[in-house]
Structures are given as structure tokens and as C-alpha cells.
Amino acid sequence: MTDDRDGGRGARKMRVCVLTQGCKVNRSESGALEEELEGRGHALVAFGEEVDAVVLNTCTVTHRSDRDARALIRRARRANPGARIVVTGCLAQVAPEELRGLGVDAVVGTAEKATIPDLLERGAEGSFVGDVARVSVLAPAGLRRLRGRTRAFFKVQEGCDAFCAYCIVPYARGPSRSLPLEAVKAGLAELRRGGNAEVVLTGVHLGLWGRDLSPPRGLGDLLDAAEDAGISRVRLSSLEPREVTGEVIRRLASSPVLCPHLHIPLQSGSDRVLRAMGRPYTAGEFRATVERAHREVEGLCVGLDVIAGFPGEDDADFRETRALLVDLPFAYLHVFPFSPRQGTRAWDLPERIPEGVIRDRAAALRALSAGRRRAFLARNLGRVLGVLPEGEARNGRLQGTTTNYVSVSFPWEGAAPSGEVPVELIRVEGEAVMGRPARSAPGGGPWT
């Protein structure tokens, strides 16, 4: 640490590296942490630079994420022998003693993340992990910290009440808690004032937002607040199948603000496996929802989650899943090889699938996803779409994203604009589309 002091706080200024695994909720929380540290006068540095502290925000959805977290801890310790290592996030919540055994200085639970700046400044060591089941209030996330970025992640909901057979997240995050409606409105207004052109509404189970409030609220109230906030774009991070209602589809189809992008967890196309997973819908219901959304929302991008190799998933079950996916109009898949998590119901299930079979099934699904992604990108060629730049131009090109989640690269000189650029999409290269700035919006009118 340096000897510089931070104004009235009296804390030594530190060089801190924040590393993040996993979901958009973690990214939102890490962004808030980074901005709080900067606001206190500490410097944010990249991994590999000289640091005083490393904070790792972990995921524990799969064994692979656990393994990656342990590897990052070891790398951080080797690269910075004298630095303080603080681990937080879902893995910290469910396995604090294991992480302490890796030689980290502090383990901080999911409900205690906001205390990390104070813990760093005090040099506190040990475990700071509370009982997430007893946390009943979701506090505002200090959204002033996200200013200056074109896209902001706004966490409006925390926790999950579903307890699907395979999932450790309810144990790591606790019950569903919602940010009150007035706090949502205030946060959106602050993000608008800060210049954020796109806001991603995130939550562990976003569709539960509002049910725990008094009076209870629903997803429609959240969408009303988002559309009334004066922000150019609002994107939904993920919704469960039964939460993609007719109202949500109509709003996506008609709103100039809500992005035509849905991410929906399927998990399996076999009704037998869905029942074993504890998923409350059938493959037929899922099909009807996705097909309706695709039919009614122009240019819609649909992403799906799928688990390969859930215990008891036989060849016929997997064929049902693949057959459903072949028929569905999706744009990409997130494929998760089944990963047993101790403490979940699936941990004790018989008929574990051999690892080799799981790998083969996951590879087949990823190949299907890659082909579908290329086809989706190709369908957008020839269109003029608004592209929101992310970062400054490099080598004379800007990179950005359309409302329907197409990554576009296009030539640009000078500073990046703060809002959308009309871009004609001309060819596909890998996972991105090459484009060129257009002079007008679709139909020949001025771009607004």
C-alpha cells in the first residue's frame, strides 16, 4: 500500500484488482464495488499489475467454475505474494472453509459484499459469511457508480425460491428479495443522468421481482418503470419460461425501449427429465412460448440454457431435447454439462451419466448452437440497425451491439459516440458482423 490518504476517510489508498466469474448479477455487483473503491480514492488495476489487494467475485454453478476460482486464487497469490486476497460470491457463501484453506485473507458472503471496501481499508481477516436465508431486504446498489459506461447492469432482484434439483444458487443467494419500485425508478433516473444508453435489468430470478413487496408488484410494473425512465434501451437479463407471458411478448413487440432479446432457461426437452429437475413446465409449453415470441417480435434474438447429462437422462431423452431444439427458432445456446452440487437434490440421484457421454452430448448441443448463431447473424445482413458502441475505436473500428444482441464491428474515426450509430450489416465474420455506418434509418428517414 502507498502512504497516500483519502481525504477525510483516513484510509490508505490501495491498488485493487477485481476479478469476476459467472452471471450478469455478479458483473453488476463487481461494477458497483469497483466504482465504490474508485470513489474512495483507490486505484483499479488489471490482473498482472502490481496490486495491494485482489477481490475475486466467484460463481459455483458447476465444478468447472469452482476449479477456475481455485486456479485464479493460486495465480493471484503467486503473482502478488504480499497482496491481500479477498474472495466473495456464491462459492464463498457455500464453501468458506475450503477457500480459507487456500490461504486467502478474507472470505465474504453474498449478503456481505457491500462491506468489502470497509474490510479492505481496515485490513480485516477471516470469514464474513452470514445466513442468506435470513436476509429479507434488498438494498439499493449505489448506481451513481455506473456512470460513464454506455451499458449498465442494474440488479433489481436477488435470490431464488425455486430450488430446482440441480441448482445450488438458492442456498448461495437466499430467498427472493426485490428492490422497491421507487428505488428502481430512482436508480434508472440516476443511470439516465449518468449517460448510460442501455440498462440491463438483472436478477437471480428476475421474473420474481415485486412479489415480496408490499403491496405486491409484478413484472409489468417493472417494465413500466423501465419504459418511463427516458433511457434509450432496456434489456432483460433472463426470464423463466412461464414468465414470458403474452403481456411481456406484446411489450417487447411494441416498445421502442425494450430490447427484442429473450434469454430463457429450457434445461431439457424431455418431459420426464424436466419433472426430475423440478422444472414447472412441459416441452410443449416451452415450444409454444418461444414460437409465439418469435412470431410476434420482429428480429427477436432468443437464447436458451440447456443442461446435458442430468442423472437418468437416457439416449431417448437426449434425442427429445435435440429434436425440440432443432425445431425452435433460437439464436444461441448456453450449454451446461451436468455438474453435481452437494446439498442439492440431484446430488443423491442415481443413474449418473458417464462423463464421456456428457461431454459428447454437450459437444453436439454446442455444434447445433454454433450453426444456429451463424444463421441468425446472416438473417440480419442487409438491415440498418442501431449499434451502441462499447469502448473507444481500435485500429479505426468500433465494436458495439444491436438491440437484438448482434455484435457489430464498423469503421469509425474519432471519439466514440455516446448513443446509437445507424449501421448497415454487410457480412458475417466468426461471431461478429461487419458493418458500415449508414446515413439514414431503415425506410430512408432520419435516424433518431
pLDDT single digits (tens) 322-347: 999 999 999 999 999 999 988 899 99
pLDDT single digits (tens) 251-309: 999 999 999 999 999 999 999 999 999 999 999 999 999 999 999 999 999 999 999 99
61-90 average pLDDT score = 89
Assess contact for 410 and 437: CB atoms under 8 A. yes
441-446 average pLDDT score = 51
Kindly indicate the confidence band of residue 159, based on its pLDDT and cuts at 50, 70 and 90: very high
In the chain the domains, ranked by start, together with CATH numbers, are 7-130 (3.40.50.280), 384-437 (2.40.50.140)
211-215 average pLDDT score = 94
Q: Report the C-alpha gap between 203 and 314 in whole angstroms.
A: 33
Strand partners, 385: 423
Helix (H) or strand (E) holding 290: helix 283-296
Return phi, psi of residue 381, to 5°.
-65, 145
Q: Report the C-alpha gap between 417 and 398 in whole angstroms.
A: 10
For the ranges 41-50, 78-87, 373-382, the one whose mean pLDDT is highest: 373-382
* pLDDT of the residue at 148: 43
Q: What is the pTM of this model?
A: 0.86
Is residue 392 predicted with pLDDT exceeding 90? no
DSSP assignment string, 168-215: -HHHHH-S-EE--HHHHHHHHHHHHHTT-SEEEEEETTGGGTTTTSSS
